[in-house]
Amino acid sequence: MKIELFNKITTLLKGLTGDVKALQDSFKNLPIPKDGIDGKDAVDGKDGKDAVDGIDGKDGKDAVDGIDGKDGKDAVDGRDGSPGAPGRPGTDGKDAIDGTDGKDAIDGTDGKDAIDGKPGIDGKPGKDGKDGKSVTKIKLEKNTLQVWIDGVKKSVGKIEFPKNTGVFIPGTGSGGGGGGGGLAPGTLEPVPSDNCRIGYFDYNDLATVTTPIVVPSNDTFVPLTNDSLGPFTVKSFAPVGVTDVWDADNNVFDWSELKLGDMVDVRLDVQVTTTSPNQHVEVDLMLAIGGFSFNIPFSDIVYKSIGLQPDINIYNGIHLGNANILDNPARFEIRSDAAATVVVKGWYCKVLIRGG
């Protein structure tokens, strides 16, 4: 049954397929259609005429105004009356009569001289004036005069010295013996810059002879003092224009009266008493204190024995080659690794001032 039904369906499908194919073939044989011609656009109808307005009625006439009445005439002014005749002029009054001058006043008589009063009472005695101040020191620093009043330093003013242009050469001018044809009085030969003027100072201390300086045992530097009051102090052979190179009040070397390029040679003379065997003692010259300071070693000794040691007598020299050294003070300093005492006998200073 089923097979039969299937066969019938298959037969129908095959017939239907053939019909479809025949229909497709008939479509292929149809002619290709052409586009139709467009119709003409419709013509718009004409607009109707506007309606005519009716005629307006005429306006009525205005009413006629009545005639104005005429103005009356102005009144005529009356005439002025004739002027009256002028009156006669009045007569002048009489001049006033001057009065007579009064008599001069009579001078009064002078009064009597006044009697002198009695002398006044004497005033009370004035108070005693304050004690005056004393000048304790005078010093010339870089052409500035310094004065110490009761120990207080004060600047008085600047002193200008005439420039030294040369040196006296015996036999070439007036004075000192020599013939004519030399330099005129008051003139000097120029000094070459490599020549020097020389002088010296010797500063002898007094205080440490009886009160030696105490040196601690911790290798700390202690300044060496010199009051320059000892009997062997010599300052009478200083170079011209220089009064000092040692400031005994502040215990420092003061180069303010020197200039760049000058030189100072110093001989140190001190005596140390030690307290320990193999004790190390060092003495330096500290320069440029307050500036870029540095030290110049003068003595570096290890003492094997205890007690009073031989004098430290060392000679060394420095140059004032820059402003750091010239403008700042210097001083001797001592240190030790054990306790010690030191007596300052002094220092000799040779000063060499360059020419030029």
Give counts: helices (H), strands (E), the chain: 3, 15
Answer for the pair 247, 140: CB distance below 8 angstroms, yes or no. Answer: no
pLDDT tens-digit series, residues 289-329: 999 999 999 999 999 999 999 999 999 999 999 999 999 99
**Structure-token pair, residue 50:** 């506007």
For the chain, list the domains and their CATH numbers.
135-190 (no CATH), 192-354 (2.60.120.760)
- What are the DSSP calls for 68-124, one per residue? PPPPPPPPPPPPPPPPPPPPPPPPPPPPPPPPPPPPPPPPPPPPPPPPPPPPPPPPP
pLDDT of 143 reads 65
Taken in order 238, 262, 286, 341, the sign of the CA dihedral is negative
pLDDT along the chain (356 residues), means of 10: 75 75 71 58 56 51 52 56 58 60 61 65 68 72 71 70 49 44 48 84 98 97 98 96 96 96 97 98 98 96 97 96 97 98 98 88
Q: Which residues touch 127 (CB under 8 Å, ≥6 apart)?
A: none
Question: What's the N-to-C CA distance of the chain in angstroms?
Answer: 156
pLDDT of 47 reads 61
pTM of the model: 0.50
* Exposed / middle / buried, residue 102 (Cβ in 10 Å: 0-12, 13-18, 19+): exposed
pLDDT of 4 reads 78
pLDDT of 147 reads 77
pLDDT of 43 reads 56
